[in-house]
Structure 1
Amino acid sequence: PKVHVFSTHFYTKLAECAGGYNHKNVSRWTRKVDLFAMDLIIVPINQGNTHWVLAAINVRERRFEYYDSMGGDDDGRLKNLRMYLVDECAHKKHERLDLEATGWADYYGANHGAPRQTDGFSCGVYVAITAECLRRGAALDLENRRMQYFREKLTAELLRGALL
């Protein structure tokens, strides 16, 4: 699939204002990228420098996805990503995108058996591995007993300069 992965700073900049949403902050982030030609858009989100979650805009399935390994609520993050996609379409394509009329839905991984962490420090590993599973269309097979393996795998890939 065609995948675009936003920087870990993207969502923070998108939500950086009194109202919690500001498209102008990130409107230039896709100058060279047509998000609407993608199958999947991955958005890692840092919550208050204490927890990582993952959101995805699954263009192929027409849904906004939210994965929190602690099972938490999205606190309006999917609403912001909905507004972002509508604004991005207006800004880049000069078209109105009606998500309701075209059948877009919200999907919460916690409601569909996505793995949960059993400690207070593996959220970053869960985000990285969940993003990789989504990118490859693979099952979310993140057993807690395999976290050390996933940590070592990520470390090796980062040291080689290429995620596998």
Structure 2
Amino acid sequence: MDANSEVASRRMLEANKKYLAELDTMHNDDNIKRHLLPHLNGVLKHAVAQCKAVSSVIANIEPMKPKMKIHPNQKLQLQLQPMKKVKKRKATKKGFTGPSSEDRRKILKTLLQSESYEEDDNRYDDQTVIEQSTKEGAKQACTYRGEQSTKETSTPSHHNPRQKAQIQSEQVLRKQRSSFTPPLSSVKSLGQTLYRHGPYNITMVHLKSLETDLPIEEKEALNSHDGKFVTGWLYDSIIDSFFYLLENQHEKILCASCTLMTACLSGSSVRAVWQNVDITRKDFILIPWNSTGGHWVLIVVDVKKGVIMYLDPMETGFTKTAEEGCSIVTQLLHIKFPKGFNHLQVMLPNKTGQKDGRSCGVLVCFYGEQIVRGDSLTSPIITNEYRRRIFQRVSNNAQI
């Protein structure tokens, strides 16, 4: 190790000691214990595992530093491809001088309108839809030259049946794309509590996670307020509020908070969970779980049959995550209700699966409601309509 590397390593060690000292002083804070303790536990566990793995290797390990360093404004010696001069396109029609300013605005408006699209539940990648819509708009703009040559002889636009049908279809899509949540301008702060259900508070940011198509300015405002905001991916406060209202309407079910499984995994105390509950009067226990930090699943306990149902909107097999989740629930039930459960059987029932990359939370709410109502888990679902249903449920039954 050269002198510069030793100095850099010494500085990093001093900085690490400083960070650990600050962490040691702050971990007693109640807010940190309540919100960040599971996360800190996972980060530290991962860091310790990495250190153990590196220390156990006898061979020399190359340091984790970039192989090539390019300073700002430094030119590369080799160019992969020489700059090409853009040739001016020649007019295809004799006497064509290009579109006027008003026509350019129409073309631009056509391109912008074509980029707005309605989410298709049968697509996994929304970027594909955007690219296809943009290509369609570009194709419409490219046909402009041909329309110019026949402009005087063609019928007016308001008498063209084809254009009428296109306008009507655009109006239908515009209605479908209309937002069902309040506008951002209706609140003073994005973190302001709009609805409260028991211990769960819902803010404007949480509500907007129910939407699948937001204007760019709203996305930027929401991301600046919460960097973890993802369009269409439900916050735990939405799911917790939905199941809280479901439990209040049906006395035969028992619902858990989204943080219960995380608390069990981190070794936190679950003494306050389900106190003074007579499990013999319950039919089902519903436990939503963010299993990977970015995917929602639902674990259902059929109390009468002694069955644990693992409902993953994306998976159909019994994965390692499913095994871990069912094992935790089994241990939790034996601790909280030692006389209520002797033998528990794990099942993976057939269900309606997830067809996109962001509706797992919506499907979890759908599974819970179907089970409580005694309906089939394989019933078809239109996720956009069910998102509206969730919004109506949490907004109409608000306590604030």
Q: Give TM-score, length-normalised by structure 2.
A: 0.34
Instruction: For structure 2, list consecutive stretches of 5 or more residues without a partner in the other structure.
Output: 1-250
In the alignment, the residues of structure 1 paired with residue 387 and residue 379 of structure 2 have an alpha-carbon distance, to the nearest angstrom, of 12
1:26 match: secondary structure: coil
- Once the 2 structures are TM-superposed, how far is the Cα of residue 124 of structure 1 from its aligned partner? 0.3
In the alignment, the residues of structure 1 paired with residue 372 and residue 340 of structure 2 have an alpha-carbon distance, to the nearest angstrom, of 28
1:50 match: secondary structure: coil
Matched, 1:107 2:360: no
In the alignment, the residues of structure 2 paired with residue 83 and residue 29 of structure 1 have an alpha-carbon distance, to the nearest angstrom, of 14
Can you list the C-alpha shifts for 1:88-115, whole angstroms capped at 9, x where unaligned?
Answer: 223xxxx48531xxxx311113xxx211
Can you list the C-alpha shifts for 1:108-130, whole angstroms capped at 9, x where unaligned?
Answer: 13xxx211111110000000010
Tell me the residue number matched to 2:276.
32
Tell me the residue number matched to 2:262.
12
2:392 match: secondary structure: helix
Tell me the residue number matched to 2:370.
133
Matched, 1:70 2:307: no
In the alignment, the residues of structure 1 paired with residue 252 and residue 270 of structure 2 have an alpha-carbon distance, to the nearest angstrom, of 21
Contact kept, 8 Å, 1:35 with 1:41, in 2: the verdict is: no
| Structure in which a larger fraction of residues adopt helix | 2
Instruction: Tell me which amino acid in the other structure corresponds to 1:6.
Output: A
Tell me the residue number matched to 2:389.
153
What percentage of aligned pairs have identical amino acids?
23
In the alignment, the residues of structure 1 paired with residue 340 and residue 261 of structure 2 have an alpha-carbon distance, to the nearest angstrom, of 22
Tell me the residue number matched to 2:356.
119
Tell me the residue number matched to 1:82.
330
- Once the 2 structures are TM-superposed, how far is the Cα of residue 141 of structure 1 from its aligned partner? 4.2
Instruction: Tell me which amino acid in the other structure corresponds to 2:329.
Output: L
**Alignment CA distance shift 1:122-1:44 (3 Å):** same
- Once the 2 structures are TM-superposed, how far is the Cα of residue 16 of structure 1 from its aligned partner? 1.3
Instruction: For structure 1, list consecutive stretches of 5 or more residues without a partner in the other structure.
Output: none
In the alignment, the residues of structure 2 paired with residue 88 and residue 80 of structure 1 have an alpha-carbon distance, to the nearest angstrom, of 12
In the alignment, the residues of structure 1 paired with residue 287 and residue 394 of structure 2 have an alpha-carbon distance, to the nearest angstrom, of 19
Tell me the residue number matched to 2:210.
none
Q: Give TM-score, length-normalised by structure 1.
A: 0.79
In the alignment, the residues of structure 2 paired with residue 75 and residue 16 of structure 1 have an alpha-carbon distance, to the nearest angstrom, of 17
Matched, 1:49 2:289: no
* Higher radius of gyration, 1 or 2: 2
Instruction: Tell me which amino acid in the other structure corresponds to 1:16.
Output: S
Contact kept, 8 Å, 1:5 with 1:42, in 2: the verdict is: yes
2:391 match: secondary structure: helix
| Structure in which a larger fraction of residues adopt strand | 1
CA RMSD, Structure 1 to Structure 2 (Å) = 2.0
Tell me the residue number matched to 2:252.
2
Return the structure number with greater relative CO, CA threshold 8 A, min gap 6. 1
Instruction: Tell me which amino acid in the other structure corresponds to 1:15.
Output: L
